[in-house]
Structure 1
Amino acid sequence: MPANAPQLRTLLLTDLVDSMGLVERLGDGPASDLFRAHDRLVLQLQQQWRGRLIDRSDGLLLLFERPIDGLGFALDYVRGLADMGRSRGIALHARAGLHVGEVLTWRNSDEAVSIGAKPLEVEGLAKPIAARLMAMARPGQILLSAVAEPLAHRAARELGERGQHLAWKSWGNWRFKGVPEPQQIFEVGEPGIAPLRRPPDTPKAWRDIPLWRRPAALAAEAALLAGLAVGAWFVTRPEPAIAFNQRDWVVIGDLRNLTGQSALDDSLEQAFRISLEQSRYVNVLSDLKARDTLGRMQRPGDTVLDRAVASEIALRDGARAVILPTVAEVGGRVRVSAEVIDPHTQTTVYAESADGRGFESMLESIDRVTASLRGKLGETVKSIERDSTPLPAVTSKSLDALRAYALAQNALARFNYAEALQLFQRATQLDPQFALAWLGQVRVYYSQENAGRGEVPLRRAQALREHLPPREALYLDAWVSEFDTPAETATKWVELAALYPDYLPGRGNASTWLYKENRFKEALVHTQAAAIPQNPLQGQEFDSVGRAYLGLEQYAQAEAAFKRSFAMSGGGSMRRLVSTAAARRDFKAARAYERRLEADNPFVYIERTSLAIDQGRWQDAQRMARKAVDLAGNEGAASRYLTLPVAVADWMAGDVESARAHARSALEKALSALRGYRGADSEEDAALALGAALALLRMGGGDTTDEVLGVLKERPALLDIPQIAELATITKAARNRLADRPDDAIALLSPLFDGNERYQAHVEMMESLSLSGRNDEALWHARWLQQHRGTAYVELECGHCLQALNVVDSDRAIRIEAALLEKQGKAAEAARKLEDFNRLWPVEIQPAHLRR
């Protein structure tokens, strides 16, 4: 079959050391057992690290999407072999080579595979380079190329505590047979396991030793070098250098303006930042984070970021360099210059400048200076050319508009949304083609949770997309998809995060949209990458880390993340601490956290309502749910979402008519909103309408499924959203079950179970399987519902509008398990489960629909 287009992949080649000798020493039987254990280890690690096995013999060839996954596999493989050998009293080692490069892949025909060919072929220069690395490695050694090392090194924190203790060593430049350019080689490993010794030369890989260091020339050179050394010291000085790697951080100091034109201060500094932020190689610490660090230094927020102050910020926030820009008039020309400062010594490492005529030349001069600095920090010319759009094209030729934009950014950093919006609007009045300023208005509206108002500036920015830097263009595309193709929004954010892995808004939003789809494990990767010291919103990201852990039922990690978030930024993490404690049925701790919730925030009453239901405090649940609605008022999306928990609380309190009325009210409010406004809130209203329809079915309040689906069919983009499509399927399945068609319900529900399914999918599957007499399968779902109470509490749709219903079902599943066990003739087990249920919700307080 024809090859696909070249793809950038991580290649890992391994070789089991002396495998033939192992067979001779152990004998065929024990060796066979060993290799079966080896194969189980490889399969387990493949699944854990998302690797694709391409080829195997004495060694392995695997492909990975990310270098850190390949490194994680290699580290676990080397450790696993060592443990396997130790248990058998033998030394068991592998050598490994890791490289990142373009490969061509193609599938062999079925006929070729049937006679022994591999299903997938992989070729390209990256493959022999990885093979050379593997071949030169010592037993137990993992060698990396210069392409793979910085990518893996920067992501090592994803390996947890182990990643902080890895040893990284450079073994210098090597020559590979058939490869024209020298290759820098690195080793990484765990101390005590890795050799951490220079690899030996091989016929296909040898050290790249300069001519002057070769033995034949050393003697002749020694005398000459000794004679020249003293004189050379006085003639030359070593050029200062800085240890800067790809994706390291820099702090931009305040612009020194020596022109006497004070209006240039903010505008040129902002232009300098925009120009440098286009790089995927250099990461720029945000001005918001710099000002936040000033606060921790107990300095005023308007402190000038000069050489000393900016260097201290860099040291505190893990930045490798400080850049100090300057603009001056020199000999009738305008000169833009910048110094790269080593924050440890505050010495200038590099300096670049560019001259132009008149102030209109300054944007082009800034581009030339930042391009030169990027090159001196190690970025390739190709990368600079690829990731650089001229400032005049992506900002504004109006310095007044640029200054208004800079001041708006400063206001946004102070969370002064009204001032920021006014200044962004001023910038677009001065230059209607200023796409970044239109996008700034969108950011303000979204920060205020007013997506509808943001659509007009969003469309203006969309029309000017070619005037945005590449990163911001992708950022725009993701927000546009939320309006036009919401089913693709998560993919858009993930794409942005992949291309710009240290662009923190991209990472944070990728996590949020994956979380909305119950893809908690994937969301965790992105939010952990965003919860770094350089992020001014680090505290909020730890809240997202906690949510992902709660969805994965890892309660201790969730609690730790929420506590860290609350300590750093306060906010909603206390709500999540209530949920975490309640999910593991530590109601004492949950009530203690509940007492720390603010009284005037309507959203905290969602958790308060759910906690009261969880404990069988029906009247408290009703009071809490109604309090939330009262605080939210009659306007806005919140008033709609908070109505459904009232219905659930009434249902559990036995007031079925009121429950149906409130569920119907929530449904009608959602449908009214869907018929009127077509903005970003529509997804939440679609979820609310379906959730209310599901609740009405279960409360005996009538079948409104067709009514809801009729409205949604007028908005087909909404039904393409995974979680909306799933809720629609669950609601249709509930209708079939209640009409005594459980097999139809099971057929609808079965395709949903991919590991990311909604909580209510398990509820309906449990009920339908039980009704169909498939008790063993129903029992599995009943137990799943009890074991995944973290998901019940944290799952997101329409502002957690289904949380209360999920919690009801997490407890009701105990009662259903008891009934299913009884059907299986396990009377003693059934009695114990029933006792558990009655202890949680005593018989005397159970509503009629539960007692039945």
Structure 2
Amino acid sequence: MNEMTHRPSIEAPQLRTLLLTDLCDSTTLVERIGDVQAATLFRDHDRLVLDLQQRWRGRLIDRSDGLLLLFERPIDGLGFALDYVRELREMGDARRLELRARAGLHVGEVLTWRNSDEAVQVGAKPLEVEGLAKPMAARLMAMARPGQILLSAVAEPLAHRAARELGERGQHLLWKSHGRWRFKGVPDGQQIYEVGEPGIAPLRMPPNTPKAWRDLPLWRRPAALAAEAAIIAGIGVGVWFATRPAPAIAFNQRDWVVVADLRNLTGQSVLDDSLEQAFRISLEQSRYVNVLSDLKARDTLARMQLKPDTILDRAIASEIALRDGARAVILPTVAEVGGKVRVSAEIIDPHSQTTVLSEAADGPDLSSALESIDTVTARLREKLGETVKTIERDSKPLPQVTTSNLDALRAYALAQGLYAKRDFAQALELYKQATDLDPQFALSWIGQMRVHNAYVDAPAGVAALRRAQEVRSRLAPREAMYLDAWVARFDEPARATDKWLNLAKLYPDHEAAQSNAAIWTFTDNRFNEAIQFATAALVPQNATPSIDYDTLGRAQLAVGDLPAAAKAFDHAISRGYESSLRRRAVVDASRRDFASAWNYLAKVPLDDRHGFLERTSVAIDQGKWDQARQYASAGFTLAKKAGGLDSRSFLLPLAVAEWGSGNTEAALAHARAAADQALAALKAGAGVTPDAQDDAEVAVAAGLIALRLGDGRVADRVEAELSSDEALASAPSVAEFRSVVKAQKLRIAGKPRDAINELLPHLNGRERYQTRVALYHAYRDAGDVDAAQEQAKWLQARRGQAYVELECSNCLQALNVMDSRITPASA
């Protein structure tokens, strides 16, 4: 009975966090520094442990060379381990000693009991802890490398989820999975993880030990590998596949990644935006890896009901990846480690938020950071499955394709962010600041061109384009092709569309390539191709789908698929693209639902001069000529005030409205004025102005209207002027309109058959609306009623094309709509 009263009372099993640590090579350390210094060191060590115990609410169970502690929560155990590893390292550095500890963290049930006071007095521990969780934590600790903190599969998700409680440091932690391991005496394999701080954590696979080894598939075990090697050596094939680094995540060519915000641990603010932008540019050179744009990531943040400036950390970036169909997250970091600048990056599985790959590169100072980024991104691309050959082929060094001036790079990065927010004025200032700092910064010249284009300031846009052209060698291959396509718009109009098609085919997931290919094929009346490219652009990763929905709707409207066009425009409108209101109106006008068309046009602001084009055309479609004149006049007044191309092209709908109203002289006067002004603009710019092709189209269209009104002199003068500019005259739209004018002349001269022969070569499925109108007139004059009726049926079936053909900014829309009123009966 007396024996039972002194037996320790075992408490019920409790779920606790166990942390075991070991001071590496402690015996060797004592021999090296001597007993006296060792005693001083361990006294300071004990003070550190006591302080950390109190800070993290831990209970010390046992200690010798190592520690055994219990915690209520895994995050407290992790906080202790992180501080212990770091401060022990600093303690050693202060003494010029290498002090490293290894640690194992596990969560499980333990049994505890208190020893009697008598037992404690003779050396027993106050509290005993036993249970399977204890040897499990010990196995983790024993297999860890110096400075490494290993976590079990039970502890990792609990600690990871609560990492925010560690404050800012919690956002900078590195997490890495080391796969499945087997432990002696434990029947099932266990997933092992590592966590640590940049520059401190080894982030390396632990070595196998007699009590812990990697749980490899049969084919990867040593005996099997030896057999496989013999087979490979015997047949002499497959060496490349055996040696190629396999991705640690299921990543395929053209999969997407989300780049999280760069963690700048250097305290150098110049790196905040510049290196993040540089990291994106370096990675975006790949044709194997697709990078989700920052604009799309911020759009997804809005859908997550988070602020646009929310930091894309591991958790947030992983959520974005899951929402937008990205396969991986890349988390870049820059830090100062041992007097060097280290650039590192982790590849994170967004499903588990664990690190599956990591790479790092060190440089002597800040100027080496760009080179280090190139090194890191190349290694990441290779580990994701891209071949070394393609990496070398598609990549240029960052200083060559951006700038070596970090201040210029930061200005460019800030400008990119402002451009994405459509703050064009501030973006332009920063783009200019970047080129002031480095005049050879080609990307920033392209940025200025894009801003000027957004402002519809074509001359300034071309000026920036020419500056970019001068330093074309300072662009990555994709951006160089993008520049070439824009240059062709002005220097070789006939080849511009093909340039965009080549870019789209080579980079099928590049949003700008697909969008521009859709727009330019639409401009060339290649409507079915435009539908294909616009559809290809409308992937979940698209940052500006409204523009591509608008292009898709226009192409579908042109081929007569009105329900699909209405749906596409509705998508664009719902995303805030107001220009689609005009196009949505003409869908209903094309099917003669004019009441609905006017309802949509009522939503178009009255200060939007382009809205008056549709108002004029819909009034013409209804035969309301006085109303059409009023709308055409109002639109021209706004266009004249704005100046530029519109001040000339808006004369043509005004001429058509006057024509329909019976005011032939006024109509002729407007047509002549349009031709005069367009030819003057071409002469002033020597045929290479931003609006050269549009001005040529305006001039030919003005000549066509005047010709149909009975004055052939305007058309003759336009032809004489244009024939001297071979490049401009051979642009597909200009060449076709010249044929239409020539055919109308032949018909008026009593040669309708010759007119038909002039027009028939253009019937290739992409012909302009006026080509079919001219054919109708020629067949009618030739007395071929059946053929004339066929043309009239085509004109009726393609009323949508009459409204949306894009030449000279819809300058022929009013004429096309007037001619769409031709019916088979009238033939």
Structure 1 unaligned regions, length at least 5:
1-225, 821-852
CA 1:530 to 1:431, structure 2 compared with 1: closer, same or farther past 3 Å? same
**Deviation at 1:741?**
1.8
Check the 8 A contact 1:675/1:711 in 2, yes or no.
Answer: no
Q: Of 659, 662, 666, which residue of structure 2 is paired with 1:651?
A: 659
1:699 aligns with 2:709: yes
Aligned to 1:539: 546
1:350 aligns with 2:338: no
Aligned to 2:430: 423
Q: Of 749, 754, 762, which residue of structure 2 is paired with 1:744?
A: 754
1:663 aligns with 2:668: no
1:101-250 alignment runs, 5 A limit: 234-236=212-214, 241-250=248-257
**Deviation at 1:237?**
5.8
1:822-841 alignment runs, 5 A limit: none
Aligned to 1:404, the other structure's residue is in SS state helix
Aligned to 2:613, the other structure's residue is in SS state helix
Aligned to 1:98: none
Q: TM-score, normalised by structure 2?
A: 0.70
How far does the alpha carbon of each residue in 1:58-117 deviate from its partner, in whole angstroms, 9 at most, with x for none?
xxxxxxxxxxxxxxxxxxxxxxxxxxxxxxxxxxxxxxxxxxxxxxxxxxxxxxxxxxxx
| Number of residues of Structure 1 aligned to a counterpart in Structure 2 | 594
Q: Of 615, 619, 623, which residue of structure 1 is paired with 2:622?
A: 615
In 2, distance between residues paired with 1:706 and 1:482? 26
**Deviation at 1:227?**
10
CA 1:228 to 1:700, structure 2 compared with 1: closer, same or farther past 3 Å? closer
Aligned to 2:325: 318
Q: Identity of counterpart residues, as a percentage? A: 54
Moved more, 695-704 or 641-650: 695-704
Aligned to 2:650: 642
In 1, distance between residues paired with 2:746 and 2:308? 62
1:719 aligns with 2:719: no
1:76-87 alignment runs, 5 A limit: none
CA 1:240 to 1:478, structure 2 compared with 1: closer, same or farther past 3 Å? closer
In 1, distance between residues paired with 2:777 and 2:299? 52
Aligned to 2:575, the other structure's residue is in SS state helix
Aligned to 1:373: 380
In 1, distance between residues paired with 2:430 and 2:313? 26
Q: Of 771, 774, 791, which residue of structure 1 is paired with 2:784?
A: 774
**Deviation at 1:359?**
1.4
**Deviation at 1:818?**
2.1
Aligned to 1:528, the other structure's residue is in SS state helix
Check the 8 A contact 2:331/2:345 in 1, yes or no.
Answer: yes
In 1, distance between residues paired with 2:485 and 2:211? 57
**Deviation at 1:487?**
0.8
**Deviation at 1:240?**
9.4
Aligned to 1:41: none
Moved more, 314-323 or 266-275: 314-323
Moved more, 291-300 or 489-498: 291-300
Aligned to 1:125: none
How far does the alpha carbon of each residue in 1:579-604 deviate from its partner, in whole angstroms, 9 at most, with x for none?
11111222232222222222221101
Aligned to 1:461, the other structure's residue is in SS state helix
**Deviation at 1:726?**
0.2
1:169-568 alignment runs, 5 A limit: 234-236=212-214, 241-568=248-575
Structure 2 residue identity aligned to 1:497: A
Aligned to 2:104: none
How far does the alpha carbon of each residue in 1:713-735 deviate from its partner, in whole angstroms, 9 at most, with x for none?
23221111101100111011111
Aligned to 1:799, the other structure's residue is in SS state helix
In 2, distance between residues paired with 1:702 and 1:690? 12
Check the 8 A contact 2:247/2:384 in 1, yes or no.
Answer: no
Aligned to 1:454, the other structure's residue is in SS state helix
How far does the alpha carbon of each residue in 1:632-671 deviate from its partner, in whole angstroms, 9 at most, with x for none?
2342211211111011111111122211111222222211
1:810 aligns with 2:817: no
Structure 1 residue identity aligned to 2:599: A
Q: Of 681, 703, 710, which residue of structure 2 is paired with 1:673?
A: 681
Aligned to 1:352, the other structure's residue is in SS state strand
Structure 2 residue identity aligned to 1:682: A
Q: TM-score, normalised by structure 1?
A: 0.68
Structure 1 residue identity aligned to 2:509: D
Structure 2 residue identity aligned to 1:430: L
**Deviation at 1:306?**
1.0
In 2, distance between residues paired with 1:533 and 1:721? 35
Structure 2 residue identity aligned to 1:778: A
**Deviation at 1:791?**
0.9
Aligned to 2:591: 584
Structure 2 unaligned regions, length at least 5:
1-185, 191-208, 217-245
In 2, distance between residues paired with 1:788 and 1:232? 79
In 2, distance between residues paired with 1:714 and 1:420? 40
Structure 2 residue identity aligned to 1:668: D
Aligned to 1:128: none
Aligned to 1:682: 692
1:584-603 alignment runs, 5 A limit: 584-603=591-610
**Deviation at 1:324?**
0.8
Check the 8 A contact 1:497/1:507 in 2, yes or no.
Answer: yes
**Deviation at 1:228?**
11
Aligned to 1:207: none
Check the 8 A contact 2:248/2:384 in 1, yes or no.
Answer: no
In 2, distance between residues paired with 1:688 and 1:232? 84
CA 1:773 to 1:275, structure 2 compared with 1: closer, same or farther past 3 Å? same
Aligned to 1:339, the other structure's residue is in SS state strand
How far does the alpha carbon of each residue in 1:366-401 deviate from its partner, in whole angstroms, 9 at most, with x for none?
011111111122222222121111112111111111
1:764 aligns with 2:774: yes
Structure 1 residue identity aligned to 2:817: V
Q: CA RMSD in A?
A: 2.1
In 1, distance between residues paired with 2:456 and 2:393? 35
In 2, distance between residues paired with 1:457 and 1:602? 27
